Amino acid sequence: MRVLVVNAGSSSVKLRVVGDGSTLEGACDLERHGDDGLGAALDAFLDAAPPVEAAGHRVVHGGADYRAPLLVDADADAHLVALADLAPLHNPPGLAAIHALRAHRPGLPQVACFDTTFHDTIPDDASTFALPARWRVAWGIRRYGFHGMSHAWASRRAAALLGRPLEGLRLVTAHLGAGASLAAVAEGRSVDTTMGFTPLDGLVMATRPGALDPGAVLWAMRHGGLSADEVERELEHGAGLAGLAPSSGGDLRRILASADGGDADARLAYGVYLHRLRGAVAQMVAAMGGIDGLVFTGGAGEGSARLRSDACAGLGFLGVPSVPAGPGPAAGGAGAGPPEGGAGDRVLSAAGAAVAVLVVAAREDLEIDRQVREVLGAAACAIGGRPVGPVEAAASGNNWGPPGVGTSEPPGSSERRVGT
């Protein structure tokens, strides 16, 4: 079976065709200029790509109701639309891709895969905000966490690179890109993460501030006359690295080049970024009671040896070793691991280090592919276990994920709901 993986973001749509054995059989990155031309672009890609039997979509926020990937039918679609305001930058593009693909390939089974699912194992002590009951119960405000598919893949890939079972490891996975978050992954399960109710929380990001005193937001609204929409726009697009060093546009590469050239704003921006990153790593380690490995992934995590070196340089008190500011061991050499990940996946720390430091290419496409196959496999089992194709499995009426992906309950049976 081949699976079309659709990763629709605020500025681009990444399309991948994944075959059996995690083989990449087609790829295309589209710039998003509104949703009008999305269906035609999907059509053109699918016409040129090998035939696919199912599609999997990255949906950033599943709210409290969706604790597993699910086959998208009309009922699920209505619920997903209602969740759009939880992640206004991220959920609408994913929904637009689902709708465009349905219009152009109406018989193709589609599975929604949620970034929040991986973090559903975070214990209540770590996921609960100290807020009034109405906020927590009626409105469902808690820590959901994001980048779940990236954290899930990075942790499994790190275990393979280390040649150790995931169940025996305590890993901090660091997804560092335009959006950024950490996860504490103990025995393969997320037990804490830096993002919260929305993707605004946690680390300093390209255009988002990360952790912020809510009193400062209230003060700005009262004294600056800002509306809620204006606050949202500035926190989503004008804060973070871009707010600290406006000429950088939030690009870490430009921040580093300007900082090295003596630019005071860039130096401050990078200093704030590192300070928050190191502190958050320590928080994740505390949640697990120790650390066996620190895993860098995401655009900046993979691409900047300087960032990895500078981050580790401030974490020696946790046993994290220093790593080179250059590329490190060559891919394919010792520590390169099995071939299914990125060509540059490797262990950066010396053999025998108490805490391993690794770099892993973000392969959300493979995680989505895995979830799609498990959901369709569960749907097939629900109609008697006989051999069936993806279309018949999708028509079986079983639209929730199997045990081990999240929950075998129907999505509406969750005790933690938004707006109920």
Model confidence pLDDT, tens digit, residues 69-128: 989 988 888 888 888 888 877 888 899 999 999 999 999 999 999 999 999 999 999 999
pLDDT at res. 417:
26
* Pair (107, 204) in one structural domain: no
Q: What is the pLDDT of residues 329-362, one digit of tens each?
A: 544 333 444 445 556 999 999 999 999 999 999 9
284 burial via Cβ count (<10 Å: 0-12, 13-18, 19+): buried
- In tens, the pLDDT along 140-158 reads 999 999 999 999 999 999 9
Same domain? For 357 and 213 the reply is yes
DSSP 21-60: GG-EEEEEEEE-S-STTHHHHHHHHHHHSPP-SEEEEEES
Note whether 110 and 102 are within 8 A (CB).
yes
DSSP 100-163: HHHHHSTTS-EEEEETTGGGGGS-HHHH--S--HIIIIIS--S-----HHHHHHHHHHHHHHHT
Average pLDDT for residues 182-207, to the nearest whole number? 97
Mean pLDDT, the chain, as a whole number?
87
Domain with 262, as residue range(s), is 151-364
- Pair 23, 93 in one domain: yes
Is 420 within a domain?
no
In the chain, how many domains are there?
A: 2
| 115 labelled catalytic | yes
HSE-up of 15 (CA within 13 Å, CB side)?
24
pLDDT, tens only, 230-239: 999 999 999 9
Please report whether residue 418 resides in a domain. Answer: no
Residue 396 or 256, more confident: 256
Q: What is the pLDDT of residue 339?
A: 41
For the cut 80, the answer to whether the pLDDT of residue 327 exceeds it is no
Do residues 299 and 351 both lie within one domain?
A: yes
Determine which one of 29, 77, 85, 115 is catalytic. 115
Give the chain's end-to-end CA distance (angstroms, integer).
39
CATH number, position 325:
3.30.420.40
Q: What pLDDT shows up at residue 67? A: 84
* pLDDT of 33: 59
Sign of CA dihedral 199, 202, 208, 214: positive
Provide the whole-model pTM. 0.86
Residue 419 lies in a domain: no
